[in-house]
Structure 1
């Protein structure tokens, strides 16, 4: 394993230390600092940018050729860190306690070290890892938001007001679908200079806003959470693929929910969010869409089609088909063939 030591703050000096450890240089483009990994270390980039009010953003998008430990060790109070894993995985631990915390795809953590205790990030070799790290200088942030912090919930206020790092803090969760969409927006924006800088600053604050909303949501507990997570969105898409390929054998949607790792409530909420209908309604939509296709493209009997799309009752199949297409399956096939003959 290789190790990099970073002994500086703020982000400009952090990037400079990373570049020095990699035996390369960095680029300063209007306050956005970028290190391109040398070929002997791997591929990808590490970027850093500071904003007003104590916010900074570090982006790691790289593949290292060997396991790498990046140690942030400085005789100062470290920033409050919000880390989001978009791709790959990462391990984090505080320098003096070495209890490792794993960060997988779609997960995020909020970490604050006690005193001047440093942070250590462990990157796995040959694994593309994309991490967004929102870093907050709590002293500057507290000064800017002093009135608002006094009026916010104690659970949030205590995190930001501890600018002397009297206590450590650790939280982990799965970031929201809204945050996932924001990261996609940040990666695809094509603005230059002025618009780009203003846009990035706005996006950094949006990251913070959505993370704090999610943190409050997580405090409610799993059963009462309202915000859809990116990982749950991924699970819904996985469930749809299962439903499409196993239409004829699905007996229980709860079983599919369990297979993709969702509670029944989250499963149903996810379908309503993405498709505007319940999971059962969407299953029926898939079955009837396939039935229509089979009526057009095959010579299968109605009984065979009914079984292929997963209905046990012929009358129920006919009832639902008529409700969706305003015609019975048998008459639909007759009308389609008559029209095809005339054409």
Structure 2
């Protein structure tokens, strides 16, 4: 395991310390620091930028060769951090905690450290991880005119209050692709100078607002139309097992929605979150994987395999098998068995 220790006094300092540990090239442009590395430790980009009133961004788009643990030591700054993972996953804990928390892809995550604190983020090996961390330093943000903190829900408002510096907070909320779309827009800020910095700052505020709204609804045990709760995720997992066990049957989005007890929109959203596929794409790819295994490991005829996975047309099966694997089913079997 590769270990990195960062004293998180500012975003700029954090980037310099990361460069000391990861190597690579660190450049500054319009107040934005970008670290790029490609070496024996892995490959990736880390960037950070500070704004007024305690607002800052640090994001990682990295792929480490081995499991990498980054510890952020914070002795002075009370932070509320809005975390969103677009690719991969992370493990997290505060130094003294007994167990790690799992931070999932597309999950709305809000944490706040106590003072002092050591926060540990564990990045998996050989996995692309894209994580955005928006930080608000509570003392500075409270000085902002019209901060409107009094309008936050009770839990989140308490996190901002200065008398709670010795209390940490972890919110692992619902799953939301709408926030992922806004983060893509953040990454697409290609202008320069004031236009770029204003664009990034505005997008950060929008993303924070969406994450706060998700938190508010989670506290009320509600979910937004474009989000998924843990219960929804559980139902999608259960439905995936049902599909596997009934792969020969005809399954429509409508019929699967009834079985799962979810709307068609929630069902499609769930498969996009969990599998990055639509329902029909998931079913098709599952059928092809089963067919490929049966071509390899059984003596069933191709027609029997087509029937087993619920296709009516052998020609259609051959067409999509070729599109997926670049070889026709008959040739795939012959190649596996060494038949010329």
TM-score (norm 1): 0.68
2:224 partner SS: coil
Equivalence for 1:264: 261
Distance 1:38 1:166, change over 3 A: same
Residue 65 (1) aligns with residue 48 (2): no
Equivalence for 1:183: 183
Residue 36 (1) aligns with residue 36 (2): yes
Q: Give unpaired runs (5+ residues) of structure 2.
A: 270-279, 281-309, 313-340
CA distance in 1, matches of 2:163, 2:62: 31
Contact 2:31 / 2:49 at 8 angstroms: preserved in 1?
yes
Distance 1:199 1:66, change over 3 A: same
1:114 deviation in Å?
Answer: 2.2
CA distance in 2, matches of 1:158, 1:35: 35
Residue 142 (1) aligns with residue 142 (2): yes
CA distance in 1, matches of 2:268, 2:61: 33
After TM superposition, list the pairs within 5 Å mapping 1:200-219 onto structure 2: 200-219=200-219
1:118 partner SS: strand
1:66 deviation in Å?
Answer: 1.1
Residue 225 (1) aligns with residue 223 (2): yes
Number of residue-to-residue matches in the alignment: 266
2:212 partner SS: helix
1:41 deviation in Å?
Answer: 1.5
Distance 1:126 1:152, change over 3 A: closer
Equivalence for 1:249: 250
1:69 partner SS: strand
CA distance in 2, matches of 1:147, 1:184: 26
Equivalence for 2:321: none
2:143 partner SS: helix
CA distance in 2, matches of 1:150, 1:159: 12
CA distance in 2, matches of 1:51, 1:172: 26
Distance 1:71 1:252, change over 3 A: closer
After TM superposition, list the pairs within 5 Å mapping 1:274-293 onto structure 2: none
Offset from partner CA, 1:249-303 (integer Å, 9 cap, x none): 2389464566xxxx634x2454799xxxxxxxxx9xxxxxxxxxxxxxxxxxxxx
Contact 1:254 / 1:264 at 8 angstroms: preserved in 2?
no
Distance 1:106 1:2, change over 3 A: same
Contact 2:91 / 2:122 at 8 angstroms: preserved in 1?
yes
Equivalence for 1:122: 122
Q: Which has the larger radius of gyration?
A: 1
In terms of mean alpha carbon deviation, does 151-160 or 132-141 score higher? Answer: 151-160
Q: Give unpaired runs (5+ residues) of structure 1.
A: 274-282, 284-306, 310-343
2:97 partner SS: coil
Distance 1:14 1:90, change over 3 A: same
Distance 1:147 1:17, change over 3 A: closer
RMSD (Å) for aligned C-alpha atoms: 3.4
Equivalence for 2:294: none
1:81 deviation in Å?
Answer: 1.4
CA distance in 2, matches of 1:71, 1:132: 16
Distance 1:198 1:39, change over 3 A: same
1:182 partner SS: helix
TM-score (norm 2): 0.68
Distance 1:191 1:175, change over 3 A: farther
Contact 1:106 / 1:230 at 8 angstroms: preserved in 2?
no
